Amino acid sequence: MIRKVPIPTAGVMLGLAALGNLLAPYSLILKYACGISATFLGLLLFSKVILHPNMVKNDLNGNSIFASVFATFFMAIMQLSTYTFPFIPFISECIWYGAIIGHFILMTWFTYRYIINFDLREVFPTYFIAYVGIIVASVTAPTFNQHHLGEYIFWFGFIAYMLLFLLVTIRYCSKHTIAEPAKPLFCIYTAPMSLSLTGYLACAADKSLVMIIVMQILAQLLFIAVLTQMPKLLRLKFYPSYAAFTFPFVITAIALRQTVIYLNQINIAVPQFLNYLVIVETILATAIVLYVFIRYLKFLHEQMIVNMGTRAKSVFSAITNIVK
């Protein structure tokens, strides 16, 4: 089964870790249930890295989607380190720094492997993950009292987003077709702006109200664009790329909630419908993450059964040969 764990499993891991933080104000039990589930998936993927490094290496070298999606592994670790910080602060902080370094190393390698050898056909919204995903460090930085570092990382990721948005949009408007397994990746479009806004709210020393409002409006418009495609995307058969449904929905809800909190803090009257919208987006994010998590567990279970069946056939064949 470990051999069959797909790289995008890290995306579901990230979605669960982020969902736990989204649900934390409502229930610590739900938060840690999400954290444990995310850790379980992370251990499966980490086992594959350790036990089958050549398979992982081939995946990363042969596919820009897998290579960029692998950054979600480091993003998830940044999130999970905030779970353990109250219990083991020093170790958690070391892990957090290690995840940031790991993300930058992957980013550097990805640039060398796929940007220098540029091919528009290999460009997907997963490119946002490789470069803009580092803003998760900004979102989690306050836990480790690293606001300045978080703000620097935010501006790096946000500038990268401005550049990549144009590139990815050109790719989607080009004549190059998108294979069915890659179609769910469109959902990632809604994540970078919401992630950027969340990172900005978490770390920026001098916040611009205009910038916050503009970013939030754009984030919601991108979210609506993704929602219009969801009925069609959910009708596709299961692919590991279903992981793209998870984190984007969660971070959109988090960004909206944090915006409402900030507006209340600076004594700006917040329309009541925004509070209801936060609840709706939270419920929607929870439902889609649980749906994808269940589909992934089913997929892994099926792979395990197939693997057991193959081994059983091999054993039966060996016994038959011996008897003959």
Residue 318 has pLDDT above 80, yes or no: no
Q: How far apart are CA 23 and CA 10, in angstroms?
A: 20
pTM for the structure as a whole: 0.93
- Please compute the mean of the pLDDT values over residues 277-295 and round it to a whole number: 97
Is the predicted pLDDT of residue 314 greater than 80, yes or no?
A: no
Residue 14 C-alpha from the chain's centroid: 5
Q: What is the pLDDT of residues 231-255, one digit of tens each?
A: 999 999 999 999 999 999 999 999 9
Q: Measure the CA–CA gap between 93 and 78, rounded to whole angstroms.
A: 9
pLDDT for the residue 29: 97
Would you state the pLDDT for residue 118? 85
- Per-residue pLDDT tens digits for 22-37: 999 999 999 999 999 9
Q: Average per-residue pLDDT in the chain?
A: 93
* pLDDT of res. 315: 42
Report whether pLDDT(322) > 90. no
Alpha-carbon distances, residue 74 vs 58, 78, 84 (angstroms): 19, 6, 15
Band the pLDDT of 62: cuts 50, 70, 90: confident
Q: Which pLDDT score, from 0 to 100, does residue 153 have?
A: 98
Residue 237 Rama label (left phi>0; alpha psi -120 to 50; beta): beta
Strand, coil or helix: 187: helix
Residue 82 in tokens: 């905030």
pLDDT category, 316, cuts 50, 70, 90? Answer: very low
pLDDT band at 324; cut points 50, 70, 90 = low
pLDDT (mean) for 119-133 = 94
Q: Looking at residues 9-32, what average pLDDT do you find?
A: 97
Distance CA 129, CA 308 (A): 35
Between residues 173 and 175, the one the model is more confident about: 173
Other Cβ atoms within 10 Å of 221 Cβ, number: 11
The confidence score (pLDDT) of residue 176 equals: 83
Tell me the C-alpha distance between 103 and 97, whole Å.
Answer: 10
What's residue 141's pLDDT?
Answer: 97
Q: What is the structure's pLDDT at 191?
A: 97
